[in-house]
Amino acid sequence: MKEGKVLLIGRPNVGKSTFLNNLIGQKVAITSPKPQTTRFPIRAVYEEKRGKVIFVDTPGIFGKTKDLLSKNINKKTLQTLQEKVDLVVYMVDHTRKRDFEEARVLGLVRQLRVPKILVINKIDTTEGTFLPQYEFMKDEFPDNFEISALYNKHLPPLIDEIFALLPEVKESQIVNPTPYPLLNLDSKTFLGELIREKVFLMMGEEIPYTTTAVVDEIAERSDQLTYIKARILTTSNRYKKMLIGETGRKIKEIGSYARKEIALATGKKIYLDLTVETDPHWQELYT
């Protein structure tokens, strides 16, 4: 049996969370095309007959950080790099140019004294590729794979190599079977993340980075109905007005999409009581 901890690392939006969701077989990390989607490390377990892999999905590392939120995200990622891991999966996006941000991530990966795998993601996209800029990495990382996390392409050979590089453990050393999948998030945090994902997907470029979602209450009203009270926090009344929308249309849309996904995940009827509040200091409290 194989068992170990695998660190997923890369720039923002390279597809780490998409890879993890598709591998696990259900959503464990929210995704969107925008930076700052993943804001804290997420741990999830992939388990099969060969053994158990604890994946640690880190937030993407920003090259330059000006706002408090980005600084806090980088800080949490750097703290995660201090943890003991057995393997590093370094993911890059060939559709984006190599720049200072990529160089910084590569420098951090080079400092980690464990086996490493280079994964070039989004290989389903052939237009606008900068793949030649990443070719030199294949010499530095002999274990390298080209995958499409979005379309589940070429994942089995990567998983085979992950298991090959993980340490062997005796069955007697495995204390308890692990629930599948195992997440390091409580219910309120995970539901808040699902709501925040809908804000990222449904609002413009500027608003998502000024917002977070907080779940204050989860109550089982009956065997079928779950009541959830949640708030979207934003930094100014201008953004609050945009999030609510004319006659409340936008917040109703966000709430409707979030409620449907929560209902699908839980198998229960959901009543989502969702409001928007202005809090200029939310980044100090919730990151």
Tens digit of pLDDT for each residue in 208-221? 678 889 999 998 88
Q: What pLDDT shows up at residue 166? A: 95
Task: Provide the CA 40 distance to its chain's centre, in angstroms.
Answer: 8
Q: What pLDDT shows up at residue 179? A: 44
Rounded CA-CA distance 17/46 in Å is 14
Q: What pLDDT shows up at residue 182? A: 45
What is the mean predicted confidence (pLDDT) over 277-281? Answer: 92
Q: What pLDDT shows up at residue 181? A: 43
First to last CA, the chain: 37
Q: What pLDDT shows up at residue 174? A: 54
Rounded CA-CA distance 268/63 in Å is 42
Specify the pTM. Answer: 0.73
Better-scored residue on pLDDT, 32 or 47: 47
Q: Which one of 24-28, 98-102, 139-143, 267-271 scores highest in mean pLDDT?
A: 139-143
Q: Copy the structure tokens of residue 5.
A: 């901890």
Q: Which domains does the chain have, with CATH numbers?
A: 2-173 (3.40.50.300), 187-285 (3.30.300.20)
pLDDT surpasses 90 at 97: yes
Nearest CA among 116, 131, 123, 121 for reference residue 85: 116
